[in-house]
Amino acid sequence: MRIPSLAALAALAALASLASLASPLPAQSNAERMANGAYTRSHDYDLVHQRIEVGDFNWDSLSFSGKLVTTLVARRPGFDSVILDAGHLLQITGVTDPAGVSLGSARSGDTLVIRLAKPAGFGDTVRFTLAYAGKVENGRGLTFLDPEGRPHRPRQIWSQGEDDNNHDWFPTYDFPNDRMTWEMVATVPASFTAVSNGRLVSDVRTARGRTMTWRQDKPASTYLVSLIVAPLVKIHDTWGTVPVDYYVYREDSARAWPLFHVTPDMIAVYSRLTGVRYPWAQYAQTTVADFFGGMENVSATTLVDWLPDPAAYLDRPWYQYILIPHELAHQWFGDLVTTENWANMWLNEGFAEFMPGQYWQVKQGRHLEDDYYLDEYRQFLQIDDDRRMPLAARASNNIYPKGALVLRMLERYLGNQRFWASVKRYLEQHAYDNATTDDLRQAVLDATGENLDWFWDQWMYQAGYPEFAVQAGYDAAARSLTLTVKQTQVDTSTADSTTGLRYSTPLVFRMPVTIRVGTASGDVVRNVMLDAREQTIRIDSIAAEPTMVIFDDGNRVLKKLSFEQPTSWLATQLQRDPDLWNRQWVIDQLAKRTTDDLAAQALAAAATGADYFLTRAQAVTALASFSQQAMPILEATIGDTSAAVRVATLDALGEVGGARAVEIGTDRFHHDPSYEVRAAAVAALAKADPAQRQAILTEAIASESYQDAIRNAAYGVIARTTDTTFLEVVNARVPMDENAVYVLAGMGRKGATRALDLLASHLNDERHYVRGWALNAFRNALPASLALPRLQAAQDSIQDPETRAAVAAAIEELKKK
Ligand SMILES: [Zn+2]
């Protein structure tokens, strides 16, 4: 699964709280035992196969017809009843065994018990057919969508199983630690397509509609069962003999190939890196509306319908850079080998988040790889700062970026060959099966002979990361450099109030680091094992004062670093160090030395001359605080071939201000080919040019761009001020544009009561989705002190009963805050 990262949502984050994206689940144990086995569910059968037949979909009543044939094997003697998970809205109309004997059943909540005609013995196969009238609460298991007058949004249905919602639309065993094969027989309206897992085995048109039968003939966990029903066109591609199909709305046909055609190459690279050939009969990618991002349903990934237009590729769209390779990686990590329980979910998500960086390394080299993980590092710190949890823990909040970074660290530690041999061993030992965190440790041990128990303890089972405070001293007489390395991280997290469990942070992380010392006669390199709270490292035979000192050359350790150095060392490192994490760290140090000419020169050189755009962009950003000294450099960097550098330049120009900044900003706003650059120009001009502000914002709000980058930039400006000039303009956009409700909320938060009046009025909008947006804005983007009185005042005047009930529920929820 993948949702847009915080960075990708930056525009929206300015407008709304992201609280709704955060995991609300409680903390669990930091103990290895709890991570590996304690959360695995027990059951007394082995689910083997389900034939799932669905049809008669009704978008008004959210209903459908269902018939299910289940085959399982009893795993206890005297097996007289089958316990399945079944959504409480599914109405069971009949259960029969293969002899046609009607079987009894009983319900309690989401549990369905079927009583067999006679008890089965241990190892006996049991089969029964279950007919039901299906119905869902919209968004649980199945999501039914109607256009409601909105563009780019055909009528459709999509399923979402992970973690445990597939039982809301067909009775099954809804936990990852059992695997089955299945058939999906879906009868849909004649002009629609049904996409599901595995191989399409038949496609028949009858008076009832179109019946498409898919067969998943390799076992997978039930949360990976998928069904999409929509008017879609199929764009066919292949990897060898494997069909690689892209299902999109007809209007998106032209955008599908440029976006998705990277897929066969990604399949080839992943197959080669892992040593395990793509394991499924097909790979389908299907786009749907209102989806949170992507979901790796086995052999049939579901993706949000944000297909980039040609210009959007100038801004390296998240969709192609992260989302497609992330979900594809899950076909090995998550689908072929599946976490045994949700406490080990990082095995799914950490690997899926790790693999795109490896793909980009293979395709475009070291810098893009560093770039990828540097972004993960920023996310990791932010999440860790918010709440510190280990990787292997139930509801761990940091499994994506920390998982990716720890796996990268493991790769650096083991080296390329040993790492991939370990991964291959892990995938082969647990293929079509489940795994725990300790199984991965064992696979490394089996493949390399090295027991990384200590690594697992500090990086998987405990929380936190090392924070190094380094001091360097050169002794000319002794011709030696002495480094004092302290680990300053603290272990202060308190026990969870409900479980009593506490996540510890190691006071000492054990890790090898490389120290590189620049000298006039070449570099001196030392490998050192860090294994103490404080240690001293002496490097001899340094003939003269070093030209630079790199602590953790190659950035092999996930860390924070504090290391005071002369500017000249930093300047040399920035010029010479290929590692992007190290460069970013150096740039951060230089950025603080705003009265130091050497720092300004080093940044200027990097801004205009660095060999990778990210370094140039970061140097530009740092130069903003050097004020007027920056201007000549910004004049140059606005012409950079990289849109990201031009974005950084415009941000800096907004800070620096002045007539020339306005001139450049205006030009870029009107003429730059990149949406992100034009969006940055909006923000820069709003800062630098109060006179033109209104005209620019008006034009920006009317500008169409991929993912509304330009309009969102204007919204960001508007929501950050108390200026209500644009209140009515923004309000008029609400029916077309969810972000508009967050702008109203933002203005309301700043004291514009009229904005809150307008927001409340949308609770009575004739469109269901607008009412939902307005209510979500009250719940997620306003403090309870503002939202509660408004909702209470509006409550009685709300016409629609469903909305009135939702508002009442929101009021209760807000009262608890
Ligand atoms: Zn994922």
Please tell me the predicted confidence (pLDDT) of residue 400.
97
User: Which amino acid does the sequence have at 38?
Assistant: A
Is residue 749 packed enough to be buried (19+ CB in 10 Å), middle (13-18) or exposed (0-12)? middle
List the helix and strand counts (H, then E) for the chain.
28, 28
Q: How far is the CA of 191 from the centre of ligand 1 (A)?
A: 31
Q: Is the pLDDT of residue 404 over 60?
A: yes
Quick one: three-class SS letters along 484-518?
Answer: EEEECCCCCCCCCCCCCCCCCCCCCCCEEEEEEEE
pTM: 0.95
Q: Is the pLDDT of residue 499 over 90?
A: no
Q: How far is the CA of 345 from the centre of ligand 1 (A)?
A: 9
Q: How far is the CA of 261 from the centre of ligand 1 (A)?
A: 20
Q: How far is the CA of 156 from the centre of ligand 1 (A)?
A: 23
pLDDT one-digit tens code per residue, 654-685 = 999 999 999 999 999 999 999 999 999 999 99
User: Average of pLDDT values for 554-577?
Assistant: 98
Q: How far is the CA of 325 from the centre of ligand 1 (A)?
A: 10
Q: How far is the CA of 314 from the centre of ligand 1 (A)?
A: 25
Question: Band of the pLDDT at 559, cuts 50, 70, 90?
Answer: very high
Q: How far is the CA of 2 from the centre of ligand 1 (A)?
A: 4
Lowest mean pLDDT among 33-42, 313-322, 664-673, 765-774: 33-42
Please tell me the predicted confidence (pLDDT) of residue 522.
94
pLDDT one-digit tens code per residue, 354-394 = 999 999 999 999 999 999 999 999 999 999 999 999 999 88
Say how far apart CA 280 and CA 265 lie, in whole Å: 16
Say how far apart CA 806 and CA 800 lie, in whole Å: 10
Please tell me the predicted confidence (pLDDT) of residue 629.
83
Q: How far is the CA of 449 from the centre of ligand 1 (A)?
A: 30
Q: How far is the CA of 11 from the centre of ligand 1 (A)?
A: 23
Q: Is the pLDDT of residue 8 over 50?
A: no
Please tell me the predicted confidence (pLDDT) of residue 701.
96
pLDDT one-digit tens code per residue, 629-661 = 899 999 999 999 999 999 999 999 999 999 999
Q: Which two tokens stand for residue 466?
A: 């090392």
Please tell me the predicted confidence (pLDDT) of residue 34.
63
Task: Please state, rounded to an integer, the average pLDDT across all residues of the chain.
Answer: 94
Please tell me the predicted confidence (pLDDT) of residue 30.
46
Please tell me the predicted confidence (pLDDT) of residue 723.
80
Please tell me the predicted confidence (pLDDT) of residue 724.
87
Contact 528, 515 (CB under 8 A): yes
Q: How far is the CA of 613 from the centre of ligand 1 (A)?
A: 28
User: Average of pLDDT values for 472-490?
Assistant: 97
Say how far apart CA 522 and CA 513 lie, in whole Å: 20
Nearest 5°: the CA angle 591, 595, 598 is: 75
Q: What is the side-by-side order of every strand in the sheet holding 91-96?
A: 91-96, 125-135, 63-74, 45-58, 179-188, 209-221, 199-206
Q: How far is the CA of 3 from the centre of ligand 1 (A)?
A: 8
User: Average of pLDDT values for 131-137?
Assistant: 98
Strand, coil or helix: what is 179?
strand
Q: How far is the CA of 317 from the centre of ligand 1 (A)?
A: 18
Q: How far is the CA of 404 from the centre of ligand 1 (A)?
A: 11
Q: How far is the CA of 368 from the centre of ligand 1 (A)?
A: 21
Please tell me the predicted confidence (pLDDT) of residue 33.
60
Say how far apart CA 189 and CA 206 lie, in whole Å: 10
Q: How far is the CA of 281 from the centre of ligand 1 (A)?
A: 21
DSSP, residue by residue, 431-489 = TTEEE-HHHHHHHHHHHHS---HHHIIIIIIS----EEEEEEEEETTTTEEEEEEEE--
Q: How far is the CA of 177 from the centre of ligand 1 (A)?
A: 18
Q: How far is the CA of 401 from the centre of ligand 1 (A)?
A: 11
Question: Band of the pLDDT at 11, cuts 50, 70, 90?
Answer: very low
Q: Alpha-carbon torsion 296, 299, 303, 307, what sign?
A: positive
Q: Is the pLDDT of residue 425 over 60?
A: yes
Q: How far is the CA of 306 from the centre of ligand 1 (A)?
A: 17
Strand-pair partners of 182:
50, 216
Question: Band of the pLDDT at 530, cuts 50, 70, 90?
Answer: very high
Q: How far is the CA of 685 from the centre of ligand 1 (A)?
A: 38
Question: Band of the pLDDT at 496, cuts 50, 70, 90?
Answer: confident
Q: How far is the CA of 329 from the centre of ligand 1 (A)?
A: 8
pLDDT one-digit tens code per residue, 570-607 = 999 999 999 999 999 999 999 999 999 999 999 999 99
Q: Is the pLDDT of residue 338 over 50?
A: yes
Please tell me the predicted confidence (pLDDT) of residue 22.
33
Q: How far is the CA of 352 from the centre of ligand 1 (A)?
A: 6
Is the bond preceding 163 in cis, omega lying within 30 degrees of 0? yes
Q: How far is the CA of 348 from the centre of ligand 1 (A)?
A: 7
pLDDT one-digit tens code per residue, 304-324 = 999 999 999 999 999 999 999
Question: Band of the pLDDT at 28, cuts 50, 70, 90?
Answer: very low
Q: How far is the CA of 159 from the centre of ligand 1 (A)?
A: 16
H or E element at residue 85? strand 79-85
Q: Which two tokens stand for residue 361?
A: 């390394």
Q: How far is the CA of 397 from the centre of ligand 1 (A)?
A: 13
Question: Band of the pLDDT at 500, cuts 50, 70, 90?
Answer: confident
Q: How far is the CA of 148 from the centre of ligand 1 (A)?
A: 30
Please tell me the predicted confidence (pLDDT) of residue 495.
84
Question: Band of the pLDDT at 232, cuts 50, 70, 90?
Answer: very high
Q: How far is the CA of 399 from the centre of ligand 1 (A)?
A: 10
Q: How far is the CA of 624 from the centre of ligand 1 (A)?
A: 37
Is residue 365 packed enough to be buried (19+ CB in 10 Å), middle (13-18) or exposed (0-12)? exposed
Among candidates 598, 597, 596, 654, which has minimal Cα distance to 621?
654
Q: How far is the CA of 331 from the centre of ligand 1 (A)?
A: 10
Among candidates 277, 344, 325, 281, which has minimal Cα distance to 35?
344
For residue 702, what are the contacts with CB-CB under 8 A and spacing of at least 6? none
Q: How far is the CA of 447 from the centre of ligand 1 (A)?
A: 26
Q: What is the number of alpha carbons within 13 Å of residue 211 lying toward its C-beta?
A: 13
Contact 803, 771 (CB under 8 A): yes
Q: Alpha-carbon torsion 612, 616, 621, 626, what sign?
A: positive
For 97, 453, 457, 693, the CA distances from 450, given in Å and listed in that order, are: 52, 9, 15, 62
Q: How far is the CA of 497 from the centre of ligand 1 (A)?
A: 30
Please tell me the predicted confidence (pLDDT) of residue 7.
47
Q: How far is the CA of 779 from the centre of ligand 1 (A)?
A: 27
Q: Is the pLDDT of residue 6 over 50?
A: no
pLDDT one-digit tens code per residue, 701-751 = 999 999 999 999 999 999 887 788 999 999 999 999 999 999 999 999 999
Among candidates 362, 226, 204, 214, which has minimal Cα distance to 286?
226
Q: Is the pLDDT of residue 624 over 90?
A: yes
Q: Percent of the chain, pLDDT > 90?
A: 91
Q: Which two tokens stand for residue 90?
A: 């599914």
In eight-state DSSP terms, residue 26 is: P
**451-463 b/e with 16+ CB inside 10 Å = b?**
ebeebbebbbbbb
Q: How far is the CA of 367 from the centre of ligand 1 (A)?
A: 24
User: Average of pLDDT values for 86-103?
Assistant: 97
Question: Band of the pLDDT at 12, cuts 50, 70, 90?
Answer: very low
pLDDT one-digit tens code per residue, 184-231 = 999 999 999 999 999 999 999 999 999 999 999 999 999 999 999 999
Q: Which two tokens stand for residue 218?
A: 């390799």
Q: How far is the CA of 30 from the centre of ligand 1 (A)?
A: 23
Strand-pair partners of 237:
244
Q: How far is the CA of 10 from the centre of ligand 1 (A)?
A: 20
